[in-house]
Amino acid sequence: MVSSTKLPFEFTLDQSPLAILEGLTSSFVEKYGEEVFAKATMIIIKEEHFFNVIKNIYGVTYVGQHNDLFDEALEKHLEV
């Protein structure tokens, strides 16, 4: 899990979910490397009120999910 403030990515109001997902993914790889990205089973980018799952080999990716749903998303991943 990484804070969005640690990545070289800036959100704008008119970005599509796909653009956000691609931007966060490329920013993560730029900062931490392709090897870390490849080895991870789940990568979560946390914001103040929302989270984004940019990689999840056991489920779906999420963009802009409210933090109220964070525990449920993490539990589903850990149950596998």
* Domain tally, the chain: 1
Q: In terms of residue numbers, what domain contains 62? A: 2-8+15-79
The more confidently predicted of residues 13 and 41 is 41
pLDDT tens, residue by residue, 15-62: 999 999 999 999 999 999 999 999 999 999 999 999 999 999 988 899
Residue 64: pLDDT band (50, 70, 90) is: very high
**pLDDT value, residue 65:** 94
| CB burial string 43-60: b at 16+ within 10 A, e below | bbbbeeebbbbbbbeeee
**pLDDT value, residue 67:** 93
Residues 9 and 57: their CA atoms lie apart, in Å, by 23
**pLDDT value, residue 59:** 87
